[in-house]
């Protein structure tokens, strides 16, 4: 009976709550990728495991001069994109962020693009 009623579009309180729970953030934070529970990250659990672009392509080094490479990790507003969106690993993200800040200082990247 429960299975029969589920596929019908009747918004039973049970079915709605289930679906909301699955979709929205969990009240007690599950560890790992669900940890950041704010908008955009709490959807499904793993969100197609993103890999670090630098680790997979074995890019040894990069510096502030590689504007085209750095610009991929900068939003339109000029902000540095957080690593949970780009999938970069921590050591690379740290180096990337330092390089972006150097590039900003030497006017290769803007501090702020259009208003965010």
Residue 106 near residue 116 (C-beta atoms within 8 A): no
* Contact status: 61 vs other proteins (CB under 8 A): yes
* Contact status: 102 vs other proteins (CB under 8 A): yes
Q: How many residues does the chain have?
A: 116
Residue 52 near residue 60 (C-beta atoms within 8 A): no
CA proximity to 73, closest of 81, 65, 62, 85: 81
CA proximity to 59, closest of 49, 73, 80: 73
Residues touching other proteins: how many (CB under 8 A)?
14
CA proximity to 33, closest of 24, 44, 19: 44
Give the range of 9-17, 21-29, 33-41, 101-109 binding other proteins by CB under 8 A.
101-109
Give the range of 5-13, 16-24, 41-49, 60-68 binding other proteins by CB under 8 A.
60-68
* Contact status: 87 vs other proteins (CB under 8 A): no
- C-beta closer to other proteins: residue 42 or 103: 103
Binding site for other proteins (CB under 8 A): 60-61, 63-65, 102, 104-111
């Amino acid at each position: 009976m429960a299975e029969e009623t589920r596929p019908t579009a009747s918004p039973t309180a049970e079915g709605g709550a289930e679906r909301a729970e699955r979709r929205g953030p969990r009240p007690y934070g599950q560890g790992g990728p669900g940890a950041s529970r704010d908008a955009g990250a709490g959807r499904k659990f793993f969100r197609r495991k993103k890999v670090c672009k630098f680790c997979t392509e074995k890019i040894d080094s990069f510096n502030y001069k590689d504007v085209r490479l750095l610009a991929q990790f900068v939003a339109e507003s000029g902000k540095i994109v957080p690593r949970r969106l780009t999938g970069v690993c921590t050591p690379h993200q740290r180096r990337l962020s330092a390089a972006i800040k150097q590039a900003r200082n030497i006017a290769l990247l803007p501090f702020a693009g259009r208003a965010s």
